[in-house]
């Protein structure tokens, strides 16, 4: 009997301390300075549709309308069963004084819509701010429930994981160096160091990076191209405790996946950009396959739902040879990197990703030319010969062609989906290359989608048993163990 009770207690402890996997999107609050509750409702609905669990609200110190924005955001989130948490930005014009950190956390961390680790501890992140390490010791003495997962790139993961005040870590290493292929060496260093201290990791995922802001002395590109596809495969391989998408709405760095709205683009005039390189460059389609990918991440391989088959396509509408690069570099001196021409870092290619129940043929036409049959570079079963269910990826060189881009999927001679995208052009905004990407999609219904959805729901109910979300099932199992054990005592 003692062994049975001991086992039950161990299982209770495990169920309490193991956190369900969740996915966040980094949200720049400064870009939402004109938001009303209507705007919050729109963006939160879009995030929920993509199966994102929370916004990490990047908040700089001293903004005039921060309180109103946070109040509106949290109230709307509560009404729509969505979560938010603070990511305090120490990199901007003002350092966060510890008394102001306390004030903002005391004001908002108890809100019902505030995200909590293990449904108990309010999560707080940072962007940089290692110099405030000592502040957090004081802050956590007054607010011991706070769960601190900062991004402090100036120290190694092992050094940071050893700090008692740190409960976990966020990395910002989401882009490869120059022309290198993105790898997971940085992620593995974080995971290893944190695992030794029994602390979780937030793995970063980003689709792109291009910035040209004179005010901030920023003008470089990092490799995007096939990064969105590659990085999610790495997430599925490493299975980190958390994932953070960089970002929802950082239009000035071109890695947004949220809706593009005119009232959010003031950063281009404020940052003294030479032109608005986000205007017309929609990225919404990068969210299209997130429900499937996040289903695979949270529930296990083969558990992602495919409601629709289709294709997501992205490319730059001004090729590298057509316009001047200006002072834009590939890589950044400010990051201690050796620079190179941006046209070496970003390829003049059309990239496409398909979500399919089984293999399909893909053809690409640029500028009204003949449809070119293109082989897949990556398939669900790996290699060009795979034909399984899941995500496919490929690309085709522009080869100096301009004009409208059409990508067509077909299977066994039958049409599946066709995406007609923006024209590739030699028109140069302000005589410069726009290194941002345009993203489009075309989808078609899957005949057995409702069956797939129902079976996934049933399986999830039986297998998702970690953290607060599976507590009821765990308690039922434990109660059965205890009752059986107790009944044995009276036999």
**Domain ranges (residues) in the chain:** 20-299, 310-443
pTM: 0.87
Q: How far apart, in whole angstroms, are the C-alpha atoms of residue 266 and residue 274?
A: 13
Closest CA to 175 of 158, 187, 157, 188: 187
With tokens 């501890």, the residue in question is 121
Return the percent helix, strand and coil in the chain, to nearest 5.
35, 25, 40
DSSP state, residue 175: S
pLDDT in tens, 35-63: 999 999 999 999 999 999 999 999 999 88
Rg of the chain over CA atoms, in angstroms?
A: 24
CB atoms within 10 A of CB 426: 10
- CA within 13 Å, CB half, 359: 17
Q: How far apart, in whole angstroms, are the C-alpha atoms of residue 44 and residue 292?
A: 19
Q: How far apart, in whole angstroms, are the C-alpha atoms of residue 487 and residue 91?
A: 61
* 139 in Cβ contact with 101 (< 8 Å): yes
* 65 in Cβ contact with 34 (< 8 Å): no
pLDDT in tens, 381-414: 765 566 799 999 999 999 999 999 999 999 999 9
CB atoms within 10 A of CB 10: 11
| CB-count exposure of residue 253 (10 Å: 0-12, 13-18, 19+) | buried
pLDDT in tens, 250-269: 999 999 999 998 788 999 99
Q: Place 358 in a pLDDT band, splitting at 50, 70 and 90.
A: very high
Q: How far apart, in whole angstroms, are the C-alpha atoms of residue 478 and residue 484?
A: 10
Closest CA to 466 of 148, 48, 18: 18
Token digits of residue 43: 């963006």
- DSSP per residue over 430-452, as a string? GGB-----EEEEEEEE-TTHHHH
With tokens 């990511």, the residue in question is 87
> Coil, strand, or helix at residue 415?
strand
* 409 in Cβ contact with 400 (< 8 Å): no
- Kindly report the CATH number that applies to the domain delimited by 20-299: 3.20.20.80
pLDDT for the residue 6: 47
pLDDT in tens, 185-233: 999 999 999 999 999 999 999 999 999 999 999 999 999 999 999 999 9
Token digits of residue 238: 């490493």
Q: How far apart, in whole angstroms, are the C-alpha atoms of residue 486 and residue 276?
A: 70
pLDDT in tens, 455-486: 222 222 222 222 332 333 333 333 333 333 33
Q: How far is CA 269 from CA 92, 213, 291, in A?
A: 17, 9, 35
């Amino acid at each position: 009997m003692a062994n049975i009770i001991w086992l039950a207690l161990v299982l209770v402890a495990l169920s309490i301390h193991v956190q369900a996997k969740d996915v966040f999107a980094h949200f720049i609050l400064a870009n939402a300075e004109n938001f009303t509750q209507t705007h919050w409702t729109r963006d939160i609905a879009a995030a929920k549709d993509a199966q994102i669990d929370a916004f990490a609200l990047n908040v700089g110190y001293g903004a005039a309308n921060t309180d109103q924005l946070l109040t509106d955001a949290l109230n709307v989130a509560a009404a729509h069963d969505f979560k938010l948490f603070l990511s305090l930005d120490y990199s901007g014009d003002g350092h966060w004084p510890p008394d102001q950190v306390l004030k903002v956390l005391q004001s908002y961390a108890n809100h019902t819509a505030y995200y909590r680790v293990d449904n108990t501890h309010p999560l707080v992140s940072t962007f940089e701010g290692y110099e405030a390490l000592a502040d957090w010791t004081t802050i956590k003495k007054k607010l011991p429930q706070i769960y601190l997962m900062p991004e402090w790139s100036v120290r190694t993961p092992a050094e940071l994981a050893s700090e008692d005040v740190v409960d976990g870590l966020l990395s910002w290493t989401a882009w490869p160096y120059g022309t290198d292929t993105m790898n997971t060496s940085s992620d593995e260093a974080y995971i290893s160091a944190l695992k030794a201290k029994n602390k979780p990791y937030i793995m970063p995922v980003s689709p792109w990076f291009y910035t040209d802001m004179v005010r901030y002395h920023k003008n470089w590109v990092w490799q995007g191209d096939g990064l969105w596809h590659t990085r999610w495969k790495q997430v599925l391989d490493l299975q980190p405790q958390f994932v953070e998408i960089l970002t929802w709405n950082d239009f000035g760095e071109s890695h947004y996946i949220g809706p593009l709205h005119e009232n959010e683009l003031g950063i281009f005039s404020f940052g003294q950009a030479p032109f608005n390189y986000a205007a017309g460059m929609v990225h919404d389609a990068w969210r299209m396959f997130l429900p499937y990918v996040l289903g695979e991440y949270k529930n296990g391989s083969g558990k992602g739902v495919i409601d629709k088959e289709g294709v997501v396509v992205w490319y730059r509408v001004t090729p590298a040879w057509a316009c001047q690069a200006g002072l834009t570099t590939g890589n950044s001196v400010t990051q201690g990197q050796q620079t190179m021409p941006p046209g070496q870092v970003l390829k003049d290619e059309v990239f496409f990703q398909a979500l399919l129940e089984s293999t399909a043929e893909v053809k690409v036409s640029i500028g009204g030319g003949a449809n070119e049959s293109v082989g897949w570079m990556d398939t669900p079963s790996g290699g060009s010969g795979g034909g399984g269910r899941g995500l496919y990826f490929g690309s085709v060189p522009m080869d100096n062609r301009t004009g409208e881009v059409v990508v067509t999927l077909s299977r066994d001679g039958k049409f599946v989906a066709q995406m007609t995208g923006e024209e590739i052009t030699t028109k140069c905004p302000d005589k410069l290359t726009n290194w941002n990407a345009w993203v489009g999609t075309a989808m078609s219904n899957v005949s057995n989608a409702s069956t797939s959805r129902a079976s996934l729901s049933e399986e999830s109910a039986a297998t998702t048993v970690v953290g607060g979300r599976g507590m009821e099932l765990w308690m039922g199992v434990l109660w059965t163990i205890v009752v059986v054990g107790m009944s044995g005592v009276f036999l």
